[in-house]
Amino acid sequence: DAGVIQSPRHEVTEMGQEVTLRCKPISGHNSLFWYRQTMMRGLELLIYFNNNVPIDDSGMPEDRFSAKMPNASFSTLKIQPSEPRDSAVYFCASSLGVAGLAGDEENIQYFGAGTRLSVL
Amino acid sequence: AQKVTQAQTEISVVEKEDVTLDCVYETRDTTYYLFWYKQPPSGELVFLIRRNSFDEQNEISGRYSWNFQKSTSSFNFTITASQVVDSAVYFCALSSPEISNFGNEKLTFGTGTRLTIIP
């Protein structure tokens, strides 16, 4: 399997512009997560989906952020309008999520390589 | 609330030395999972290990070993005979399947320990 694929790897944009980050989860995984990593706040969960449905978006910083998962193999995280404080590395992760005690390959989040976003 | 503490912000050791990375966690749940991830200089997050709260058996994988002790709420990670390629930031994380019907999606990460192996 190719693993979790994120694009672009790097994004440089100007304040006020719309930014769209993309993620393709591992085939067969039913849970998808978006994280943000900054020096100040470390790794933060922004939102996660189960079977393409958003389950918890309490980590989304504000209304400028939105995420969609139109199908099992694709998700986007959009920032509109972008601000310099949004500069961070954004990670997507996927897992085969099951309730209760997990088997060997279940409930392990595998991460993509990340998108480094710079908003000038 | 769940919490993971990695008190060691940075560690430097000379190549071939052994090094232990500490992880202390807090949770009120009886069923939970503990994880270690590695973030090398290239930036990706690499899964290393997961343990569940019912399995306190220590694990060894090559030069890596993990010591899980519920009595002290610790899940420490030891690298034996360290190599330069081990240089990375290591994150300990905690989750609990009890708070959801979907699995352990609430991963709580520690702040990470930056390990530098000096050649």
Q: Give the pLDDT means over successive 10-residue stretches in chain B (119 positions).
A: 93 97 93 93 93 86 94 96 97 78 74 97
Tell me if B54 and A100 make a contact (CB, 8 A cut-off): no
Helix (H, G, I), strand (E, B) or coil at B3: strand
Q: Which two tokens mark A17?
A: 């512009």
Tell me if B31 and A43 make a contact (CB, 8 A cut-off): no
Q: What percent of chain A has pLDDT over 70?
A: 96
Tell me if B44 and A113 make a contact (CB, 8 A cut-off): yes
What is the least distance, in Å, from the CA of A63 to any CA of chain B? 22
Q: Which of A102, A109, A113 sits opposite B43 (nearest CB)?
A: A113
pLDDT above 90 (res A94): yes
Tell me if B103 and A91 make a contact (CB, 8 A cut-off): no
Q: Which of A78-82, A107-111, B13-17, B115-119 shows the lowest per-residue confidence on average (mean pLDDT)?
A: A107-111
- Report the DSSP beta bridge partners of residue A36: A44, A90
Q: What percent of chain A has pLDDT over 90?
A: 78
Q: Which of A19-28, A32-41, A93-102, B14-23 shows the lowest per-residue confidence on average (mean pLDDT)?
A: A93-102
